[in-house]
């Protein structure tokens, strides 16, 4: 049984690998028992997060394109609207979460022992990435106004799949809610408005868990964006992360364990800062017992020694060993870079490292 202060690696989700079996075999070989949660690699159409899902809306009977886009940058995303005389409902949206789970869950089950089934508290668990409902609605419907207006349809469709997955696997699954819209919003808001903005945004995130089955397990992936391996949000220090994370904790519903909060300390292609003052606000992070902090600083743009120093600095700020991860998924990296980054995660989560 690992000690309570054990350090783990975390995989955010997407990879450039061929399929779930290949991804899971790579994770088992290179990380094994260093993972508390195991994604399926989010290969194929999920490699670029929600890009292909939003593209599928071109054939949705209730939606029409109002702005074309080729996804070459954040201002070149296609935008949709609800057709005149139509209504968008959760019943009309197939977001694919249950379908992907049904395809990859049996592959994980075959390999579960390779990830250290003797870990505490039933870990390792299978990690199911769930884009935040506001993220899907806002990115596809032209920003916050369209997103908020139609958020309920995306929330209903998301909850339908969450309930179905939980009915199959129970607490052997952790739902990782992915919320770049909220974290980027915090980076853009004036500091005077950080607290009310964080409370409002956190309330929407927590509502998803509140309406999910009791006993379902959760993690939060705060994100700055990683389209084409470029970030949308920028941080001058870690204060916006701390304020949003603390607000999520304050509003989190009982009966739905919050296993982790993952924070982006790098920004896609930009490596994590080395200046200690950038990380100083993390002293104010207030996570409850049982919620792990996952530091998203692993990066090919920093040396192993630089990242050891940063990891140890973060341990000191948080008062316990942090888990280690990249700032976002590996899907926008080359296969070679993805493998090298996984090996970096293994080295920095190794008790001897």
Phi, psi dihedrals of residue 294, rounded to the nearest 5°: -110, 115
Measured distance between the N- and C-terminal CA atoms of the chain, rounded to whole angstroms:
20
Residue 165 has what DSSP assignment?
H
As given in the structure block, the two tokens for residue 102 are 């049904």
Kindly report the number of other CB atoms within 10 A of residue 61's CB atom: 8
Whether the Cβ atoms of residue 295 and residue 323 lie closer than 8 Å to each other:
yes
Instruction: Return the HEC string of 280-327.
Output: HHHHHCCCCCCCEEEEECCCCCCCHHHHHHHHHHHHHHHCCCCEEECC
Q: Which of 319, 320, 260, 316 is nearest to 288 (CA)?
A: 260
Q: Average pLDDT per run of 10 along the chain, which is 353 residues long? A: 70 97 98 96 96 96 96 95 97 98 97 80 91 96 91 98 98 97 96 94 98 98 96 96 98 98 97 97 97 97 96 97 98 96 96 78
DSSP letter at 261?
E
Does residue 329 have a cis bond before it (omega within 30 degrees)? no
Q: Is the pTM here over 0.75, yes or no?
A: yes
Distance CA 131, CA 326 (A): 18
Residue in the structure block whose two tokens are 């996984």: 342
Q: Tell me, what's the pLDDT at 118?
A: 60
Neighbour-count burial of 136, counting CB atoms closer than 10 A to its CB (0-12 exposed, 13-18 middle, 19+ buried): buried
Query: For residue 140, which phi and psi values (nearest 5 degrees)?
Result: -95, -25
Phi first, then psi: give them for residue 233, nearest 5 degrees.
-100, 155
Domain ranges in the chain are: 20-55+88-349
Contact 338, 17 (CB under 8 A): yes
Spell out the residues 6+ positions from residue 24 whose beta carbon is closer than 8 angstroms to its own: 38, 40, 41, 104, 107, 108, 111
Say what the pLDDT of residue 2 is.
Answer: 41
Assign domain 20-55+88-349 to its CATH architecture: Alpha-Beta Barrel (3.20)
Q: Give the whole-angstrom CA distance, residue 12 versus residue 195.
A: 27
């Amino acid at each position: 049984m690992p000690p309570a202060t054990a350090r783990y690696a975390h995989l955010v989700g997407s990879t450039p690998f061929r399929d779930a079996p290949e991804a899971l075999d790579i994770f088992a070989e290179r990380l094994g028992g260093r993972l508390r949660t195991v994604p399926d690699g989010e290969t194929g159409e999920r490699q670029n997060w929600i890009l292909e899902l939003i593209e599928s809306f071109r054939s949705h009977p209730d939606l029409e394109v109002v702005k074309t886009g080729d996804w070459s940058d954040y201002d070149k995303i296609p935008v949709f609207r609800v057709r005149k005389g139509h209504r968008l409902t959760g019943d009309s949206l197939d977001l694919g979460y249950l379908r992907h789970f049904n395809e990859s869950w049996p592959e994980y089950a075959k390999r579960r022992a390779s990830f250290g089934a003797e870990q505490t508290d039933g870990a390792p668990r299978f990690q199911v990435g769930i884009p935040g409902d506001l993220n899907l609605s806002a990115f596809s419907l032209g920003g916050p106004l369209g997103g908020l207006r139609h958020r309920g349809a995306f929330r209903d469709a998301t909850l339908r799949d969450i309930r179905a997955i939980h009915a199959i696997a129970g607490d052997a699954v952790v739902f990782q809610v992915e919320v770049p819209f909220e974290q980027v919003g915090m980076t853009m808001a004036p500091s005077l408005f950080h607290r009310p903005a964080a409370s409002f945004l956190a309330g929407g995130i927590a509502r998803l868990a509140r309406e999910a089955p009791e006993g379902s397990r959760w993690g939060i992936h705060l994100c700055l964006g990683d389209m084409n391996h470029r970030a949308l949000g920028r941080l001058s220090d870690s204060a916006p992360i701390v304020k949003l994370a603390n607000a999520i904790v304050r509003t989190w519903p009982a009966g739905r364990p919050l296993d982790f909060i993952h924070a982006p300390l790098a920004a896609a292609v930009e490596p994590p800062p080395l200046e200690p003052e950038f990380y100083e606000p993390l002293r104010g992070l207030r996570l409850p017992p049982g919620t792990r902090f996952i530091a998203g600083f692993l990066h090919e743009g920093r040396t192993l020694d630089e990242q050891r120093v940063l990891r140890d600095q973060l341990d000191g700020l948080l008062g316990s060993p942090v888990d280690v991860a990249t700032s976002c998924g590996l899907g926008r990296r080359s296969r070679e870079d993805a493998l090298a980054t996984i090996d970096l995660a293994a080295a920095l989560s190794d008790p001897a490292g």
